[in-house]
Amino acid sequence: MKNTVLLLCIFLAGCSSMSVFQSPGVLPKGESETGFGGSFIAGENGPVIINLELHTRRGLGKNWEVGVKLFGFPALSGGVMGEIKYQIMTHPLLVSADIGISTLLTRDLNYYDCYPMVIMGSERVYGGYRGIYRNGADDDLKLQVEYYMHGIFIGYKAGLGPHLRPEIHYYFRDPKIGLIIFGLGLQFG
């Protein structure tokens, strides 16, 4: 329990983008999708929000898509993330590889995150692997924090438009420490 509280404090001090809010498919060239969402952790008195985000995605061409996210916790910290996705397979499952890079500025440290991800499934039901590699540096770029978390997730795209996207993520650093994150997003386009 002590390790979970420590891990939660790290994220509240400078939240990474904890949710995916995308399927393994790519948007057709020129089409876009925009949405917003939140990530929550189960607390003793119910869900506690740990991150808010605004995101947009755009199809670049056959098998390619790019996206941008603004995320953070209001009045404490905020970040921006860019990502690119390549669709590896379309049959029998959709399979895509995605890499995101973000920067997050807080009062104490500046965080630089990398998010490798593999997404598989269909447009409606999807899941996969996601890693978060973080470096935190002070204003003089002296390294203060460095860690890597990885996890698995499952998500669902509901509705004909706008789309509701509930997700569940399980992040772990070793077999004893786990963190369950719930995401809920709404997308247009």
Instruction: Note down the domain range covering 47.
Output: 2-188
Compute the distance between CA of residue 154 and CA of residue 163 in angstroms, rounded to an integer: 16
- Give me the CATH number covering residue 95: 2.40.160
Total Cβ atoms within 10 A of residue 51: 23
What is residue 112's predicted lDDT score, i.e. its pLDDT? Answer: 87
Cβ-based neighbour number of residue 52 at 10 Å: 16
Please report the pLDDT score of residue 12 as a whole number. Answer: 44
| Amino acid making up residue 32 | S
Averaged in consecutive runs of 10 residues, what is the pLDDT profile of the chain (189 residues)? 44 66 95 94 76 93 94 71 96 96 78 94 97 82 79 95 94 77 93
* pLDDT on residue 5: 43
pTM: 0.82
Q: What is the pLDDT of residue 15?
A: 64
User: What is the C-alpha separation between 8 and 2, in angstroms, rounded?
Assistant: 10
pLDDT, position 118:
98
| DSSP designation for 29 | B
Compute the chain's Rg from CA coordinates: 16
What's the confidence (pLDDT) of residue 75? 54
Domain tally for the chain?
A: 1
